[in-house]
Amino acid sequence: EPGPCSPSCTLVWIPDKEEVWQSAEITKNYKAGDRFLHVQLEDGTELSYPVDLAALPPLRNPDILVGENDLTALSYLHEPAVLHNLKIRFVESKLIYTYSGIILVAINPYKQLPIYGDAIIHAYSGQNMGDMDPHIFAVAEEAYKQMARNNKNQSIIVSGESGAGKTVSARYTMRYFATVSKSSGNAHVEDKVLASNPITEAVGNAKTTRNDNSSRFGKYTEISFDRGYQIIGANMRTYLLEKSRVVFQSENERNYHIFYQLCASAMQPEYAHLKLGSAEEFNYTCMGGSTVIEGVDDRANMLETQKTFSLLGLKGDFQMDVFKMLAAILHLGNVEIAAVGDERSSISMEDKHLSIFCELLEVNCDKMCRWLCHRKIVTTSETVVKPMTRAQAVNARDALAKKIYSHLFDFIVERINQALQFSGKQHTFIGVLDIYGFETFDVNSFEQFCINYANEKLQQQFNLHVFKLEQEEYMKEDIPWTLIDFYDNQPVIDLIEAKMGILELLDEECLLPHGKDENWLQKLYNNFVNKNALFEKPRMSNTSFIIQHFADKVEYKCEGFLEKNRDTVHEVLIEILKESKFHLCANFFQDSPVSASPFSSAINIKSARPVLKSPNKQLRMTVGSKVLHKAQIVKILNSYTPIDDFEKRVTPSFVRKVQAMLNNREDVPQLMLDTKHLFQVTFPFTPSPHALELIQVPSSFKLGFLTRV
């Protein structure tokens, strides 16, 4: 129980609107029952701060501890202490890295620092993590050493909000591995692994208001090592490319870098047949009104992109095929669709951009002109051709552009993976996960919803590894221990993914023939307003909803959620592209495209939730259900938790005890209704570390620390 606060130089932190927290010194003894704490701020201001015994202001660490390179060394570890320590290191000592146990905290300085050269890499090579100053290379060295010493696969997870520096950090870890594990025999394999970064950034990164080089997709790179712990190859999986950016950018944002690189090279003779001009001339690249990034030379970057393609063995013909597809997308965006009355639309047969689009992709121009403005509705008895309004035709055109780009992106990743394939057997690997950061903009839509949901799952992993597992260990050993009250974000994950959660209601609405964004939103209001503390309806809007995420409150606009979740293109347009004489285009739209890589097809992830089956078999899985049912990111992290580490915490006897308790319970029918308790778990005593057993755990047992699959 807190005793009286003595004024003998007791320093505390007081919340402040401007500074977030301000340091203050207690000037008068505080006794239980006092309603005010008398303090003096650093600028000399005297203040009576209202308090109660249950919520006294956090104490400040003694000055001798401030600036520690590991946050766990602080006497008081709370928000103001962490922020102050990071600020002192960054502002006064010009240090961007600080440890928090096994986690490295990095502050983005938004400028190049001279701390990443080969000399620094060799200085960290072979050293222990605590013996050197905090650095991204120390984390990479720790992963490499653990792999080599224990023959165990490792994963490095790079997370943080948008613009925090994740992509650059992931790049540095990969460069570290490439430098310390250079093989004498396999020429340039490390260079090839590193060459995958500029290419995926060209086609998957863009300028946003938060970040000039924002990753608009998630990437997990698995770097493979042989028995001598030298790199022999790599493989990449990508997640949830933000396709809407191809056809729409907010103010001061850009489309994907590759479009601007191509437009900047339009005057070069080898690109004359693409009939391109400057980025200002194309709807899909000038929408944000910001076609140039300060300090970035798109033409020079185009040469760099071509050079890295060539380094991977993807030569001129391949590159020109890719550029043809990109140019076709830009021309498609400039196709003029005119309204004919309220119900119909049309495209002129003389439309210059449509004819260039059809010429580049070698498809029938008459058919494309007709079917961009009409759709075919097939019923059991007849086929009806229905004209589309201008808005519907524009949507159909944009959906086609997004689909082409999405296929092109997957194709490029597939070819990179083929270039990084290796003969022989992988002995071990290190995975590097670089995923889009939590973000909130003036207008947030389906893309931000998916990105922030993925970040909630990552945050849960962070909680699991930092707090839950550690506390379970203390409790198991009967060590006296005060439980840290950390923010567990399972409730917000349940709001999104549980039965009758936001995603399931979205999928249900998508299955209805006349499903609408507004109807889905109304269902959310009915189910969650005043019933779930993490969900709110904005006061001034009937078209938005608010979710309290772990990082911030975010308001999402419902418009476009259904269309983006369905992710469909009119079948007739697909048929036209299937008939293309341009082999790459035709291949993209065949019925069963080849799996992106043997790596991705081998993974079979079961879901504890049943998948909503559509009566229409042709309806592909929605985007939301892909995120939900695959849960690939979390699956990866769980699969590669070192098994002996896991065994220390969850012993077979403990699990058997839980199962015995479950078998003896009487309230089976009630529990069966509670789907929260049903999940698959990786158990250390099963024959293979990745084998799965399905157990039913009622939520009242609070066994969230078991590794969920």
Binding residues for ATP: 160-167
Cα separation of 272 and 276, whole Å?
7
Given 67, 163, 515, 704, the catalytic residue: 163
DSSP code for 92:
I
* Chain centre to alpha carbon of residue 589: 27
Residue 250 known to be catalytic: no
Given 61, 159, 162, 638, the catalytic residue: 162
Tokens in use for 686? 């099963």
- What is the amino acid identity at position 354? L
Cα separation of 205 and 168, whole Å?
12
Given 159, 169, 208, 215, the catalytic residue: 215
**H, E, C per residue of 145-206:** HHHHHHCCCEEEEECCCCCCCHHHHHHHHHHHHHHHCCCCCCCCHHHHHHHHHHHHHHHHEE
Give the bridge partners for 36, in sequence order.
50
- What is the amino acid identity at position 304? E
Q: Is-contact 133 125, C-beta < 8 A?
A: no
Residue 476: φ, ψ to 5° = -65, -40
DSSP code for 14:
E
Q: Output the known binding site.
A: 160-167
Tokens in use for 174? 């990969």
- What is the amino acid identity at position 606? K
Smallest Cα–Cα separation from 556: which of 533, 528, 535?
535
Smallest Cα–Cα separation from 84: which of 16, 165, 9?
16
Q: Is-contact 236 292, C-beta < 8 A?
A: no
Q: Is-contact 299 264, C-beta < 8 A?
A: yes
Given 159, 173, 214, 345, the catalytic residue: 214
Residue 211 known to be catalytic: yes
Regarding beta strands 154-158 and 428-434, do their DSSP bridges make them parallel or antiparallel, or are they unpaired? parallel
Cα separation of 586 and 570, whole Å?
16
Regarding beta strands 374-378 and 383-387, do their DSSP bridges make them parallel or antiparallel, or are they unpaired? antiparallel
Q: Using the structure block, give the residue that is written with the tokens 């983006």.
A: 564
Q: Give the 3-state secondary structure of residue 33.
A: coil
Cβ partners under 8 Å of residue 680, min gap 6: 606, 608, 692, 693, 694, 708, 709
Consecutive H or E run containing 26 = strand 20-26
Given 169, 211, 285, 417, the catalytic residue: 211
Residue 515 known to be catalytic: no
Q: Give the 3-state secondary structure of residue 258.
A: helix
Given 233, 333, 431, 437, the catalytic residue: 437
User: In the structure, how many helices (H) and strands (E) does the chain have?
Assistant: 26, 21
Residue 162 known to be catalytic: yes
Residue 479: φ, ψ to 5° = -85, 130
Q: Using the structure block, give the residue that is written with the tokens 């399931």.
A: 504
Given 61, 85, 153, 167, the catalytic residue: 167
Given 242, 439, 447, 504, the catalytic residue: 439
Tokens in use for 348? 């002129």
Q: Is-contact 32 4, C-beta < 8 A?
A: yes
Give the bridge partners for 476, in sequence order.
none
- What is the amino acid identity at position 15? P
Q: Using the structure block, give the residue that is written with the tokens 């015994």.
A: 53
Residue 316: φ, ψ to 5° = -50, -45
Give the bridge partners for 24, in sequence order.
12, 41
Smallest Cα–Cα separation from 104: which of 65, 80, 152, 138?
138
CB contact burial 237-270 (16+ within 10 A = b; e otherwise): bbbbbbbbbbbbbbeebbbbbbbbbbbbbbeeee
Residue 201 known to be catalytic: no
Tokens in use for 147? 């792999």
Residue 424 known to be catalytic: no
Q: Give the 3-state secondary structure of residue 440.
A: coil
Among all residues, which ones are annotated catalytic? Answer: 162-163, 167, 211, 214-215, 437, 439
